[in-house]
Amino acid sequence: MPGNDTAGLPSEAFFTPGTSSFTEFLAAHRPGLLPTARSLPDGVRMPPDRFPHGTTVLALTYRDGVLIAGDRRATMGNLIAQRDLEKVHPADDHTAVAFAGTVGLAVDMVRLYQVELTHFEKVEGTPMTLAGKATRLAAMIRQNLAQAMQGLAVVPLLAGYDLSAPGGGRGRIFGFDAAGGLYEKQDFYAEGSGSPYARGALKKLYRPGLTRREAALAALQALYDAADDDSATGGPDLNRRIFPVVCVITADGFERLPEPETGELSREMVEARTTRPDGPHALL
């Protein structure tokens, strides 16, 4: 951030005592840099076909941690705005955030959230707890409420590996609403326009103790089902070699599944769908 001193020295803001929140620092000294500062005039509501919107993301816990995934499509009304959008991003070593909603605001919010967690750790000398990360993200979403009411909503999905959880480390999932409401989800959750169909698929496919491969296949099956019923969600594009983003978070940290692995699992799933179009049956 540029200083006010003509000699290139940092501005006085950098030496003013405050909290460990970078977002609050910006709000106090450079509010115009916040994504939530760019609101529409009062009474104006943005039509849904004017800006790209991201659609379906999901997360589920498995034996070694938590998996988070998203399709790649962004839409503007009935148009496909982008086929290879990245909706899943690492927030820090043991946390990831995926988003549905207005793409431009969501990308800015994710970047600010990444800086927020890094800033806190540098100031406090210790990483924020997973519950604290969820609470901080909820506060950032709440700041966007005015724009959400005007049709520019951002609804993230947070997944992380809690190293300090009672009984040992484990994966945890947090969902939000457009007003910043925070809800911890058990086992699995999905967000976005295709989320009802993705959650329905996960209800029949999820079981405790899934391996990484089984969890990845369950996520791909759920995204496929979402794309089957929701035109805004994109399934695996075998011709263009565009596959969903699938990431895992374990005690070892964040890892995005390599493209060859995701592609192989996607082809395996699509091939199986030729004989069973509705997907695998639930185990009884």
pLDDT tens, position by position, 55-96: 899 999 999 999 999 999 999 988 999 999 999 999 999 999
Length of the chain, please?
284
* Other C-beta atoms lying within 10 Å of the C-beta of residue 224: 22
What percentage of the chain carries pLDDT values higher than 70? 82
Q: At 172, give phi and psi (nearest 5°).
A: -135, 150
- Residues contacting residue 57 through CB under 8 Å, at least 6 positions apart: 68, 69, 70, 71, 87, 88, 98, 99, 100, 157, 190, 191, 192
Report pLDDT digits (tens) over 133-184: 999 999 989 888 887 777 788 899 999 999 988 888 899 999 999 899 999 9
Question: Cα separation of 71 and 58, whole Å?
Answer: 9
Active site residue 211: no
Q: How confident is the model at residue 37 (pLDDT cuts 50, 70, 90)?
A: low
Question: Cα separation of 119 and 42, whole Å?
Answer: 34
| Cα-trace Rg, the chain | 20
Q: Give the Å distances, CA to CA, from 11 to 7, 8, 157, 188.
A: 11, 9, 36, 46
pTM for the whole structure: 0.84
Asked whether the beta carbons of 58 and 191 are under 8 A apart, the reply is yes
Catalytic residue among 19, 23, 36, 55: 55
Residue with tokens 């990308």: 107
